[in-house]
Amino acid sequence: MRQRRTVLKVVGSALLLLLVSSGLPPAAQAVPGHEPPGPVGPRSLGVPLQDVLLIGGTVGTMPDGRRVIWSASSGTPAYLNAVDPTSGAPLLSAALPGSSGAYGVEQAPDGTVYAGTYGAGRLYRLAPGATEAEDLGVPIAGEAYIWNIVVAPDGTVYGGTSPGGKVFSWNPTTRTFHDFGVMAAGETYVKSIAYANGKIYAGAYASWAITELDLATGAKRPLPQPPGLTDPTGKVVNDLRAYGSYLYAREGTFPGPLRVYDLAAGTWSDTVDGAAGLDVTPPGPDGRVWFFRQFEAGSAELIGYDPVSRGQQRTGLKAYGRIVNTRGIGWDGTSVVGLFWRGLMFRYDTTTGQFETKRAGVPGQPTQVLALASGPRGTVYAGGFLQGGLAAVSTKDGAADYHQFSQIESLLPTRQGLVVGAYPDARVYRYDPAKPWYSSEYSDTAPGGVENPVKLLDLKAHVQSRPQGVAETAGKVVVGSTPSGNTLGGTLSVLNARTGAVERVTDQLVTDEGITSMTAGRPGVVYGGTTVAGGLSTTPPTQDRATVFAYDVVHGKKLWEVNPSAAAKTISAVTTDARGRLWAIVDGDVLELDTRTGRTLRTFDTTPGHSQAGQLALDDKGRTLYALVGGEHVIKVDTNRKKWQPLLDQPALRMVYNAGELVFARDAELIAWRVSKR
């Protein structure tokens, strides 16, 4: 098999050289009335998803003394923005090349603005008066994320990282980094960080743990757990901030309890339920701090909080949506100002009680396409990563009908509508494209409309995160998910396709393995692929190889499970052809499996090495199979003749077939290739 693959590659290379030497592009142009002998492309369909996503932020100043809101917008690359807190106008936008976004944005006493980013885990600085950010590098080799940063009074920057769960410092005088090491044994994330009185406080992700680091001695000690917290598992310390004698620590995602720690007394003094995060303001003249708190589902309200009396003042300034988190909150004179994640700005005058909200002018950035599905002829559906969003895209001209939404993990067109799998909490929705779009969860205005898409499933209670496998059979929609947090094991859920009602939820269908792909087979049966990884991908797995399984939806039982490879840790693609044969990508090769037993019937040795990436798509008749292996090589398989050939190379994360074309998602762009019917 390997010799045959080499010969085919040589032939393909020779053909490429022939085309180049003849003056033609590698992908020949179609001649009207004639079917081209090979694939025609690439043809760009543009960027279908673009939106504002603000995460890290702080309120500070410009060199001329004007107050501004500094905020990082996610994208490729991310940008550091300065926003006027009165008008919402952008005053400065500096690219952060090589990064996708920043959770940590802070301003030093000398006016320098720092951004700790994810993607490659780099630290950037924007010097006073500069218009371009300086890349300071990766603080600790191997740490891909800087989750948060804080600046000490002397200008030293401290940050928390993953996957090592470490704290670093940056000395602006010596321009050097220092690695303080792991903060808590077994914790792979320092999600939040604060500074007070010569000490750093580092909050963990996977379970409630706050480590106090003495900067003078290097000594580390855990803070006591708050009263009433009997089980720290899964209780992430999402936000930390220290002001005066108090440490504010918010637990979990929105909403979560904000726990107040008296640094002088060394005890937890109070808990405010339903805090929104991601931050609290510095104390005002009267000692109160300000933040948003949820009083009813779907909204949060700005409150003033006195850590001494523990009193709370409601303001009437409300924010709406499933997620209400401030991305930078602080003071402009007597007013509390800040931004929300989608670019809505707020302003509350603490002396008059007057408030307003307005849309800031921060531009949206291209969103990476994470989910892709083939819809009606000439239409594909694209779902976004992080910024999220859903778009129906015309394959004719790339025209996109965009809707703001959650991060989307999977898409499945059905007769009842488009099934949408969303992150986090492994939520599943159904969208009717024939009706107006309205989602109160992803609108930052007061509710007012008929929900479309409608939520059908939420697996937060099952500690699930990503619904990556979705299939329909025998009047059921079947969803396979992967776990969240520092846990192992996926869940299989069965929904009534007509009503959307949840009929069955089965945890740990395959022991300690998440479900990453799914396809429908003969009526009433689905097949799935798994991963041995946990929710954070740093959780040590208990299983050593990925699985393919068959599940009887009608009778609610697993029929079989097999491990096609001793090396594969993830099986990301399975499908069935028109004759019901089961195909999978394993170790970068295309396998045919026996639908009755899972036994490997045939292996097409298509790619050297052991690539985990894979996508499968069938033509309209379900006879020709296209496989994207290794993230760039497309293989064409004749499922009836059981033969394969290399087709084209196209770097991509996702691939679907629609009306004679293969459509690829490469980062934020969609790319189409027309393929021969022969």
Amino acid at 645: Q
CB neighbours of 232 closer than 8 A, spacing ≥ 6?
Answer: 207, 208, 209, 225
Cβ neighbour number for residue 570 with a 10 Å cutoff: 20
Cβ pair 165, 105 in contact under 8 A: no
pLDDT of residue 156: 98
Q: Where on the phi/psi map is residue 390: left (φ > 0), alpha (ψ -120 to 50), or beta?
A: beta
Compute CA 276 distance to the chain's CA centroid, rounded to the nearest angstrom.
20
Long-range residue pairs from 196-202, CB within 8 A, at least 24 positions apart, any chain: 196/242, 196/247, 196/263, 197/263, 200/150, 200/158, 200/167, 201/240, 201/242, 201/247, 202/160, 202/167, 202/240
At residue 607 the predicted structure's pLDDT band, cuts being 50, 70 and 90, is confident
DSSP assignment letter at 425? T
- What's the whole-number mean pLDDT along residues 453-481? 97
* Distance of alpha carbon 191 from alpha carbon 148, whole angstroms: 7
pLDDT band at 13 (very low <50, low <70, confident <90, very high): very low
Angle, CA of 282, 59 and 102, to the nearest 5°: 110
Average pLDDT over residues 536-552: 92
Please check the confidence at residue 29 and state whether its pLDDT lies above 70: no
Look at residues 232, 226, 181 and name the one whose alpha carbon lies nearest to residue 204: 232
Give the phi and the psi of residue 500 in degrees, each rounded to 5.
Answer: 85, 0
Q: What's the pLDDT at 288?
A: 98
Cβ atoms 674, 657 nearer than 8 A: no
Structure tokens given for 592: 């045919």
Q: What is the mean pLDDT of residues 572-592?
A: 96
Task: Give the whole-angstrom CA distance, residue 70 versus residue 84.
Answer: 9
526 has a pLDDT exceeding 90: yes
Strand stretches in 5-156, DSSP E: 40-46, 50-51, 54-61, 67-73, 78-83, 90-96, 101-107, 113-118, 123-126, 134-137, 145-151
Contact (Cβ atoms closer than 8 angstroms) between residue 9 and residue 646 = yes
Other CB atoms within 10 A of residue 262 CB: 15
Single-letter amino acid code for the residue at 244: G
CA dist., res. 604 & res. 588, Å (int): 10
Q: Is 214 helix (H, G, I), strand (E, B) or coil?
A: strand
pLDDT tens-place string over residues 94-135: 999 999 999 999 999 999 999 999 988 999 999 999 999 999
CA 239/CA 61 separation, integer angstroms: 23
Task: Tell me the three state secondary structure of residue 460.
Answer: helix
SS3 annotation, 300-348: EEEEEECCCCCCEEEEEEEEECCCCCEEEEEEECCEEEEEECCCEEEEE
Alpha carbon distance 494, 558 (integer Å) = 13
Please state, in angstroms and rounded to a whole number, the distance separating the CA atoms of residues 92 and 132: 10
DSSP label at 7? H
Shortest CA distance to 368 belongs to which of 30, 677, 16, 118? 118
DSSP single-letter state for residue 569? S
Alpha-carbon distances, residue 254 vs 152, 251, 260, 261 (angstroms): 28, 9, 17, 20
Q: Exposed, middle or buried by CB within 10 Å (0-12, 13-18, 19+), for 152? A: middle
> Residue 19 has what pLDDT?
31
What is the structure's pLDDT at 418?
98
**CA atoms of 547 and 531, how far apart (whole Å):** 7
At residue 24, does pLDDT exceed 60? no
* DSSP state for residue 283 in the 8-state scheme: P
The confidence score (pLDDT) of residue 102 equals: 95
Q: With left for phi above 0 and alpha for psi between -120 and 50, is residue 569 left, alpha or beta? A: alpha
* Whole-number Cα distances in Å, 214 to 156, 170, 265, 268, 615: 15, 16, 17, 20, 49
DSSP letter at 461 equals G
Provide mean pLDDT across the span 415-421. 97
| pTM for this model (two decimals) | 0.91
Amino acid 11: pLDDT: 31
| Mean pLDDT computed over 169-186 | 97
Q: What is the mean pLDDT of the chain?
A: 92
Tokens 């929105």 sit on residue: 254
Return the minimum-mean-pLDDT range out of 9-23, 292-306, 467-481.
Answer: 9-23
In the chain, the amino acid numbered 500 is G
Q: Give strand pairing partners of 603.
A: 591
pLDDT at site 35? 46
pLDDT bracket for residue 674 (50, 70, 90):
very high
Mean predicted confidence (pLDDT) in 255-259? 94
* Angle subtended at Cα 45 by Cα 657 and Cα 99, rounded to the nearest 5 degrees: 105
Question: What is the number of residues in the chain?
Answer: 678
Q: Which residues contact 376 (CB under 8 A, 6 or more apart)?
A: 413
pLDDT of residue 2: 36
Whether the CB-CB separation of 661 and 648 falls below 8 Å is answered with no
Cα–Cα dist 97/79, whole Å: 8
3-state SS assignment for residue 549? strand
More confident residue, 77 or 193: 193
Checking if the pLDDT of 538 tops 80, the result is no
Rounded to an integer, what distance in angstroms lies between the CA atom of residue 226 and that of residue 251? 11
Which of 182, 266, 187, 180 is closest to 223 using CA atoms?
Answer: 266
pLDDT (mean) for 179-191? 95
Phi-psi region of 385 (alpha: psi -120 to 50; beta: other; left: phi over 0): beta
Is the pLDDT confidence value at 507 over 60? yes
Nearest partner of 95 among 119, 67, 75, judged by Cα: 75
How does residue 678 score in pLDDT terms, banded at 50, 70 and 90?
low
What are the tens digits of pLDDT across the range 617-665? 999 999 999 999 999 999 999 999 999 999 999 999 999 999 999 999 9
Average pLDDT over residues 345-360: 97
Through-space distance between the first and last CA atoms of the chain, rounded to whole angstroms: 24
